[in-house]
Amino acid sequence: MTEFIPRATRFVDLPDGFPMRAGGTLHGARIAYESFGRPSPAGDNVILILTGLSTDAHAASHPHDPGPGWWEAMLGPGRPIDTDRWHVICVNSLGSCKGSTGPASIDPRTGEPYRLDFPELSIEDIADAAAHTVRALGFERLACVIGVSMGGMGALSLLTRHPGLARSHVNISAGVHSLPFSIAVRSLQRQAIRFDPQWNQGRYDTEHYPCRGMLTARKLGMMTYRSAREWDSRFGRARLSPERSCDEGPFGLEFQVEGYLDFHAQRFLHRFDPNSYLYLSRSMDRFDLGESCGTTAEEALARLHLEKALVIGVESDILFPLSQQRELAEALGAGGPGVEFLALESPQGHDAFLVDVARFGPPVAKFLSVGW
Amino acid sequence: MTEFIPRATRFVDLPDGFPMRAGGTLHGARIAYESFGRPSPAGDNVILILTGLSTDAHAASHPHDPGPGWWEAMLGPGRPIDTDRWHVICVNSLGSCKGSTGPASIDPRTGEPYRLDFPELSIEDIADAAAHTVRALGFERLACVIGVSMGGMGALSLLTRHPGLARSHVNISAGVHSLPFSIAVRSLQRQAIRFDPQWNQGRYDTEHYPCRGMLTARKLGMMTYRSAREWDSRFGRARLSPERSCDEGPFGLEFQVEGYLDFHAQRFLHRFDPNSYLYLSRSMDRFDLGESCGTTAEEALARLHLEKALVIGVESDILFPLSQQRELAEALGAGGPGVEFLALESPQGHDAFLVDVARFGPPVAKFLSVGW
């Protein structure tokens, strides 16, 4: 099984017998992370970033890995998350295949990859593993935890399960649970992978990789990460050039929007472990902050008493619609002042935080520079 | 190859050598239709209905087929489309598998089903075949042509290609062309079918039918036919009962929204010919009223000079968004007065015309009862 670890990624071991919320324990597990900027002598300038489902810890370029990261424009010296001031740790989620232990990792009991023998994964496990990572690196208190998309769920879980670990919070394009439309999207993505004969109940290898299932899953994902409005102006009804369109046989690619989806989905192939995708995807469906805290999400959030928080949503997001961020901000606000809610008009939908730096940069920069 | 023809369906032969717009001709082809109500002696009370992609001609119950039709609540004695007054003809689209000639029909040249040897299908061909059907039944002038979804595209094509054939028009949840998001949806549906090894380049049979591809295609369709808002209130995060959820192995169904999609997609299996689905689906992507008329859609529509028209769209429709119906109504209005545009607040998205009779019934009834 190939692993997909960026060059500058480092590792923290999880305690042996790391308990998983839904049962089972992990032995010899580790969490991959990268860090940016320097910790202050008092260790009071630490920011933790929790990522989306398919992202690695390489959030930005690095002296040891100059390749651009997934949040390059947001993170670095003089950038909105300013590494001249902050020491930033970005963690690869437990269960992922980008360096942290997941279904593609070797199960020390058998010497073989876990595959579907990996224990059930919860967002809470991802949060606990991230909290352990921060503490193992010597930090008892974070200035801020920033969570984007799935990482926003993880951040809420971390805040409620590890009270006092973070002073503040930035939550971007997430929610306290998954709504049925996004559950349906992910269910269909998982089905496409499971329906691919090459998936073979999780026993694929590099030569027999479920390409078709992963292509369908990724394209469906992209359709929900962006917005119809963006595509109207970006692609309209423009056709692909004939060479591009006829290499697929009958009913192949014809319009530019089809070529765009195919190009990006093909790039994703062989860069992500399908079983890992299934585990992470289902953990998002199942996450329910209220259920997790044995109360309602509102009550759990009102108890947090953060020094401040910023909740950002995007009007064109169909995966985590704006109503979810509004409700989250209201509930956080019930726990104290200093909670700001921002509805951005980006046309790029759920993915806006990755690309619309013009809209996302200033409020994040302001949140991190004022009022400490 | 199984055919899927409702009981009361009748047939009109197309002229031998029926020319297809993109090339090729059909021999021995026919169009399936059902009719409701009686023609007046002057033949001036005829309404033609053109349907969505997967629908048959059985729009409503019938003396010869008492089973409910797909538009049962809208069509019949005393209903919004009142068959005490109107003689209604509902046509199954050319290229479909519900009685009209399509890829599953026998190619008289070979004695075998056409499959992928069926000539390329255009919305214009569907319109021409419907116009021929009306004339073959003895009617030279329609009081109204009603088109829903794909049928709305067909109706616009019929109106521009057969000027004078209809006095008025009701267009529901359609547009003058397909936008990139809906092209992407259909492209992914087609890919899911083509990726199913059982599709076998169109050479499946009843025993080897591409179930997995059709399931994925149908579920994806349903996700775009309804709306996230409807699902929030209808399903929320409710779980399936354990018996229901565990019959699929790992990563199987768990939430009610997943069970709902699966139930309806399973019902669709074996009731629709996959090749027919591919042909009809692509004809929607390719339709472009302006291109078809050698001008712009606006100019083509302004030239129609209908006596009156009603354009209805739904705010929660993500497949044919409301902006498309607004533009259509504006362009039709440039050709004369009597064009009404109605934006309905149904939460049921693109499918609202099938289920939200409370909102759709009254304006359609009013349009058909006043001002003739």
pLDDT digits (tens, 9 = 90+) for B132-150: 999 999 999 999 999 999 9
Residue B322: pLDDT over 90? yes
The answer to whether B254 contacts chain A (CB < 8 Å) is yes
Place of tokens 């590792």: A11
Lowest-confidence range among B234-238, B244-248, B309-313?
A: B244-248
The answer to whether A215 contacts chain B (CB < 8 Å) is yes
Helices (H) and strands (E) in chain A, counts: 13, 14
Report the chain A residue with the minimal C-alpha distance to residue B202. Answer: A250
Residue B248: pLDDT over 70? no
B228: chain A residues, CB-CB within 8 Å:
179-181, 318, 321
Domains of chain A in sequence order: 10-178+288-369 (3.40.50.1820), 182-276 (1.10.1740.110)
How far is the CA of B60 from the CAs of A13, B9, B56, B73, B272, in angstroms?
66, 11, 10, 8, 19
- Contact across the interface for B258 and A183, Cβ inside 8 Å: yes
B203: chain A residues, CB-CB within 8 Å:
none
Mean pLDDT of B167-189: 97
Residue B246: pLDDT over 70? no
Q: How many pairs of residues across A and B have Cβ atoms under 8 Å apart?
A: 136
Low-confidence ranges of chain A (pLDDT < 50): 1
A232: chain B residues, CB-CB within 8 Å:
179-181
- Contact across the interface for A255 and B187, Cβ inside 8 Å: yes
Q: Which residues of B are catalytic?
A: 149, 317, 350
**B142-148 and B46-50 strand pairing:** parallel
Could you tell me if A145 and A169 are in contact, meaning their C-beta atoms sit under 8 angstroms apart?
yes
The per-residue pLDDT for range A24-52, each reduced to its tens digit, is 999 999 999 999 999 999 999 999 999 99
How far is the CA of B358 from the CAs of B73, B74, B100, B231, B265, in angstroms?
10, 10, 32, 19, 26
| Distance in Å, alpha carbon of B149 to nearest chain A alpha carbon | 18
Residue B180: pLDDT over 80? yes
| Distance in Å, alpha carbon of B239 to nearest chain A alpha carbon | 10
Mean pLDDT of B342-369: 97
Could you tell me if B7 and B65 are in contact, meaning their C-beta atoms sit under 8 angstroms apart?
yes
Give the model's confidence band at B96: pLDDT under 50 very low, under 70 low, under 90 confident, else very high.
very high
Mean pLDDT value across chain B: 95
- What tokens does A306 get? 């953060």
Planar angle of CA A83, A88, A94, nearest 5 degrees: 155
Mean pLDDT of B40-52: 97
Question: Can you give the pLDDT at residue A2?
Answer: 52
User: Which of B183, B190, B254 lies at the smallest CB-CB distance from A251?
Assistant: B190
Report the chain B residue with the minimal C-alpha distance to residue A317. Answer: B228
- Give the pTM: 0.95
In angstroms, rounded to a whole number, what is the distance separating the alpha carbons of residues A204 and A116? 11
Residue B1: pLDDT over 50? no
In angstroms, rounded to a whole number, what is the distance separating the alpha carbons of residues B317 and A218? 23
The answer to whether B72 contacts chain A (CB < 8 Å) is no
Report the chain B residue with the minimal C-alpha distance to residue A231. Answer: B180
- DSSP string covering A255-305: BHHHHHHHHHHHHHTTSS-HHHHHHHHHHHHH-BHHHHHTS-HHHHHHT--
Place of tokens 């320097």: A38
| Distance in Å, alpha carbon of A229 to nearest chain B alpha carbon | 8
The per-residue pLDDT for range B251-304, each reduced to its tens digit, is 999 999 999 999 999 999 889 999 999 999 999 999 999 999 999 999 999 999
DSSP label at B370? S
The answer to whether B194 contacts chain A (CB < 8 Å) is yes
In angstroms, rounded to a whole number, what is the distance separating the alpha carbons of residues B129 and B158? 9
**Helical ranges in A6-122 per DSSP H:** none
In angstroms, rounded to a whole number, what is the distance separating the alpha carbons of residues A98 and A109? 21
Report the chain A residue with the minimal C-alpha distance to residue B281. Answer: A251
| Interface probe with B: pick from A177, A222, A251, most Cβ of B within 10 Å | A251
- Contact across the interface for A220 and B219, Cβ inside 8 Å: no
Report the chain A residue with the minimal C-alpha distance to residue B196. Answer: A196
The answer to whether A190 contacts chain B (CB < 8 Å) is yes
- What tokens does B272 get? 């629709």
Please, what is the end-to-end C-alpha distance for chain A in angstroms? 46
E strand map for chain B = 10-13, 18-19, 25-26, 30-36, 46-50, 75-76, 81-82, 87-91, 106-107, 112-113, 142-148, 166-172, 308-314, 339-344
The per-residue pLDDT for range A121-131, each reduced to its tens digit, is 999 999 999 99
Place of tokens 């538009």: B71
**Backbone angles phi and psi of A343, in degrees to 5:** -105, 110
- Contact across the interface for B236 and A180, Cβ inside 8 Å: yes
Give the model's confidence band at B99: pLDDT under 50 very low, under 70 low, under 90 confident, else very high.
very high
Spell out the residues 6+ positions from residue B207 whose beta carbon is closer than 8 angstroms to its own: none
- Contact across the interface for B236 and A288, Cβ inside 8 Å: no
Q: Which residues of A are catalytic?
A: 149, 317, 350
